[in-house]
Structures are given as structure tokens and as C-alpha cells.
Amino acid sequence: MAERIRTFIAVNLTDELRAQAAAIQQELRAAAASVKWVDPAGMHFTLKFLGGVEAGLMDGVIAGNAAAVDGQAEFDLTLHGAGAFPRPGSARVVWVGVTAGAEQMAELARRIEQAMTPLGFPPEKRPFSAHMTLGRVKAPPGSGLREAIERLREAPVGTMRVTSVAVMKSELTPRGAIYTRLADARLSPAADAGGEGA
């Protein structure tokens, strides 16, 4: 059977922003015990989850990712506020949101979808939503978690410059997922990166 590599395409956080997001996570962690929290070392924004990719297709995935971001300008990404899907009172996923950079992230996701479809990866059925998962709720959330999310709904987190999009390998282990960066595709440096790029 052909080797398959569990793969996703993502924007990785800078160390500084990862620490700032971890601080928000820590405040939420103190309010709930029934949540599987993401390891701060692995915090990232998934633009496209590909699942098990045959090793022979990996060169095509890497080339497709590079083509998708070609001509896209660097931009600032600002994390702001905690939230939950579907809503705080019945949370299944706890996340931190995006203000500045949300449109550019959505454009990157759209381009990557287009690049991956010819390789046999079906497009997502749900529209892209720029958010970063902090934890997954394992049992009905108590009032403490709901109140903590509401309290942090407008909490500032931090800003980073998005300069690349990475093809990532994910290995599932009993201690959690191990992420390995396989290839980076760099965005175009720009003095004004407020738009979506060419």
C-alpha cells in the first residue's frame, strides 16, 4: 500500500504571537476542565486540510501551494477576541478570532482550494472562517467556560506579519499531533500589504 502523509496547508504563528495566544488560552483553561487544549507549540491557522496524501503526490501539492500564493502580498494578521463554535453556551470548539488580515486569509484559502482541486482534493463544503482553534470541548461546557469566553470576547491578542504559507506534515501520537514543516511558499514583500495581492 502506498505511503500516505497526513498533510495540511497553514500559516504558522511567530513565537511572539504564539505566546500571546497561549496567554489567552491559559485564562480559558483556568475556567474549564473538560477541554482538550491545543499545544501552544503547534498553534497555526489551517488554510486547507488535505488528509492522507500519497508520497508521489507531495511534489504536486508543494508546487500547487507555491503557485497559489504567487503574487500575493505579505500582510498583517491581528488576533483578537475569544469565541466558540457553535456558540459559547454549547461550545464544541474554542477559538481566537481575526480582525485585520481576515480577508487576505480567505483569499489565500480560496486560491489554495483552486490549486488543490485538480490534484484530487475536493473543495471544502463550509465557507472559510479565519479563526485559530485553542481547544476542543469534550463534555457539555459549564458556566465557567461560557463566562470566560464572554469576558475575553474583545480581548486583544497580538499582530504578526504573514510572509509565507507552509505545507505541513501531521503525525498523530498518543501525546498529541507532531507537526513538521515540509515546504514554505513565500508571499511577495510589499510596502502596502493591505490588499489581497495581484
For the annotated catalytic residues, the residue numbers are 44, 131
- H or E segment and range at residue 47: strand 44-54
Bridge partners of residue 162, in order along the sequence: 75
Place of cell 498529541: 176
Give, as one character, the DSSP assignment of residue 25: H
Note the residue count of the chain: 198
- Are the C-beta atoms of residues 138 and 35 closer than 8 Å to each other? yes
- H or E segment and range at residue 111: helix 102-116
- Are the C-beta atoms of residues 63 and 180 closer than 8 Å to each other? no
State the amino acid at position 92 in one-letter form: R
